[in-house]
């Protein structure tokens, strides 16, 4: 496995729409493993293809155990062609992005979502997510559509340096 180079804000690839994946093969499975390694090295909870310059609709997510609540299990996902099919509620929280290091802002997101995707074995996947998992998945799907979290900050006064808010209160993906 390998840690891949991240793409940062200002790179036009972060503003392009990623293309749909027709079939998951071994090279995509290797890419997913490297994306997990890259995400862990950067201490994020999610990473999407465009953030490593791969313009295809793949994202990985890992929410560590006890992240939102004591006793909550860890969740690890590989999402190919993810799509939100249901969303409800609205919640604002601080969010950050591995492609915009050092910055955060309050982003409104759906509180709970249902997502369909395919997994690394080309099987259909349907996930119900809420709290930080739902936030991370919405953030990653935005990356696949060329949208960055700063675009979604409604109150621009909440855009601050990460260290002012404290990393533990920010979902970084």
Comparing CB distances to Ni ion, the nearer of 126 and 153 is 153
Comparing CB distances to Ni ion, the nearer of 120 and 136 is 136
Segment interacting with Ni ion, rule: CB under 5 A, options 14-22, 62-70, 92-100, 117-125:
92-100
Segment interacting with Ni ion, rule: CB under 5 A, options 7-15, 91-99, 106-114, 157-165:
91-99
Q: Is 140 an active-site residue? A: yes
Of 37, 83, 95, 140, catalytic: 140
Q: What angle do CA 76, 125, 115 make, to 5 degrees?
A: 80
State the minimum distance, in angstroms, from the CB of residue 44 to Ni ion.
Answer: 7
Exposure pattern of 85-98 as b/e (b: 16+ CB <10 Å)? eeeeeeeeebbbbb
* Rounded CA separation 82/41 (Å): 24
Segment interacting with Ni ion, rule: CB under 5 A, options 22-30, 72-80, 89-97, 108-116:
89-97
Q: Which of residues 11-40 bind Ni ion (CB under 5 A)?
A: none
Contact indicator for 121, 87 with CB cutoff of 8 Å: no
Query: What does the DSSP assignment read for 48-92?
Result: EGGGGT--BSEEEEEEPTTSSSTTPPPEEEEEEEEEEEEEE--EE
The answer to whether 97 contacts Ni ion (rule: CB under 5 A) is yes
Residue whose structure tokens are 């997994």 = 119
In the complex, which residue's CB is closest to Ni ion? 97
Which residues are known to be catalytic?
Answer: 140
Binding-site ranges for Ni ion (CB under 5 A): 97, 173
């Amino acid at each position: 496995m390998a840690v891949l180079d991240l793409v940062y804000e200002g790179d036009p690839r972060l503003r392009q729409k990623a293309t749909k994946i027709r079939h998951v093969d071994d090279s995509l499975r290797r890419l997913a493993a490297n994306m997990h390694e890259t995400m862990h090295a950067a201490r994020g909870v999610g990473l999407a293809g465009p953030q490593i310059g791969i313009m295809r609709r793949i994202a990985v997510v890992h929410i560590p155990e006890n992240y939102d609540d004591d006793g909550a299990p860890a969740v690890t996902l590989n999402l190919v062609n993810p799509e939100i099919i249901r969303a409800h509620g609205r919640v604002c929280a601080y969010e950050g992005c591995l492609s915009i290091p050092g910055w955060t802002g309050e982003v409104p997101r759906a509180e709970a979502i249902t997502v369909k995707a395919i997994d690394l074995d080309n099987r259909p996947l349907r996930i119900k997510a809420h709290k930080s998992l739902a936030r991370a998945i919405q953030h990653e799907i935005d990356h696949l559509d060329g949208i960055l979290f700063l675009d979604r900050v409604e109150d621009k006064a909440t855009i601050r340096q990460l260290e002012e808010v404290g990393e533990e209160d920010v979902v970084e993906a």
